[in-house]
Amino acid sequence: MRTLRDAAADADVHVGAAVDVDALRTDTDYRQTLAREFDAVTAENAMKWGPLADGERGYDFADADDVVEFADRHDMYVRGHALVWHRMYPEWVRPWTRSAADADRLLRNHIYTVAGRYRGRVDAWDVVNEAVADDGGLRETQWLDALGPEYVDRAFEYAADVSDADLFYNDYGADGLSAKADEVYDLVSDLVARGVPVDGVGLQLHVFDDLVPPADVAANVERLTDLGLDVHVTELDVGIGEAVADREAQAQYYHDVVAAAVDAGADTVVTWGVDDGQSWLPPLGHGEAPLLFDEEFARKPAHGAVVDALSE
């Protein structure tokens, strides 16, 4: 059977997976599957500020370096994730207790340190992650409190200072046509219009309750690419349960949504994990067996469906 990597090469797109560093280090089957099947990786948690932190203002890059070095050895595209987020940051950061000038220095120094370290080795960064609130407007976060809406601009500007990667805004619930998708579209449209250095949008596409119609995904991708932006599907998984009833329905949805996104102009598709045993969805009750490989790394029907979608 053809690999995902073979099919992606023929389609001139990247197909990737989020990487769990512990599995990467300890599980031979995991490493072999990742290298054989995918040509792109995202650091699942290793590049977030909290996991990177080593004491106040210190960094431990061992986990992140392992992901990047694995990608180097296997000629893989690297997505860095994520420079600015309202979660998983060190407790000592507490930007809401700081002056605007101090919070800005904190933000700048973090981005300069992390994005600067991987200049030339990370191909795309999720610079700002999940900044749009589910009910509209910017999410109330410590960064918004400290710096106001301008923190989004500054994050992209600081990343552009030190990185040659493509710079992305990434969010969930904005994959198809919805009020939140419109909010994200308005946000990035405004960034583009004002010359803020944003290069693309990441659509997470976690599916575990309601199916996002593939045609709506395609329409959203098209309107974002019409702005001159790249579009990546960044965190795709499809839990069996409320959204899809069984493996066959899961495979059909994977086929349809990947085909729709790629045909509309998305040039990278990343699943949020390699195998079902590493997925974050089942422990939270968000459906079962959501990925392309089962817990023993056997290819599931969804694997063949994605290969077919990329081969058409």
What are the pLDDT digits (tens) for 174-227? 999 999 999 999 999 999 999 999 999 999 999 999 999 999 999 999 999 999
Write the pLDDT tens digit of every residue in 285-294.
999 999 999 9
Residue 150 is among the residues annotated as catalytic for this protein: no
Q: What is the mean pLDDT of the chain?
A: 96
Q: Confidence band (pLDDT; 50, 70, 90) for 99? A: confident
Active-site residue flag, 130: yes
Average pLDDT over residues 98-104: 90
Q: Tell me how crowded residue 176 is: count the other CB atoms within 10 A of its CB.
A: 23
**pLDDT (0 to 100) of residue 95:** 67
222, 235, 248, 288: the catalytic one is 235
Q: Is the pLDDT of residue 3 over 80?
A: yes
Crossing angle of the two packed helices 179-193 and 150-162, in degrees rounded to 10: 60
Domains of the chain: 4-311 (3.20.20.80)
Pairing of strands 40-43, 77-84: parallel
Tens digit of each residue's pLDDT (9 = 90 or more) over 249-268? 999 999 999 999 999 999 99
User: For 99, which DSSP code?
Assistant: -
DSSP string of 123-178, one letter each residue: SEEEEEES-B-TTSSB---HHHHHHTTHHHHHHHHHHHHH--SEEEEEESS-SSSS
pLDDT digits (tens, 9 = 90+) for 149-171: 999 999 999 999 999 999 999 99
Rounded CA separation 201/221 (Å): 9
Give me the mean pLDDT over the 123-135 stretch.
97
Q: Is the pLDDT of residue 1 over 90?
A: no
Tell me which residue of 266, 248, 250 sits closest to 258, measured CA to CA: 266
Closest CA to 275 of 309, 253, 302: 302
Contact criterion met (CB below 8 Å) for 307 and 300 = no
- Residue 308's pLDDT is what? 98
Q: Are 141 and 96 in contact (CB under 8 A)?
A: no
Do residues 216 and 176 lie in contact, with contact meaning Cβ atoms separated by under 8 Å?
yes
Are 41 and 34 spatial neighbours (Cβ–Cβ below 8 Å)? yes
Please give the pLDDT value at position 55. 84
Q: Parallel, antiparallel, or unpaired for β 77-84 and 166-171? A: unpaired
The pLDDT > 70 percentage for the chain reads: 99
Listed in order, strand segments (DSSP E) in 12-123 are: 14-19, 40-43, 77-84
- In the numeric block, the tokens 């560093």 are attached to 21
Whether the per-residue pLDDT at 94 is higher than 80: the answer is: no
Q: What global pTM score does this model have?
A: 0.96
Instruction: Catalytic residue, from 37, 130, 150, 295: name it.
Output: 130
Query: What percentage of the chain reaches a pLDDT higher than 90?
Result: 94
84-106: average pLDDT: 87
Neighbours of 82 (CB within 10 A): 24
CA distance linking residue 18 with residue 123, whole number of Å: 15
- pLDDT tier, 68 (very low <50, low <70, confident <90, very high otherwise): very high
pLDDT of residue 76: 98
Residue 105 burial (CB count, 10 A)? 12
Q: Structure tokens of 48? A: 């977030």
Q: Which has the closest alpha carbon to 44: 258, 206, 270? A: 270
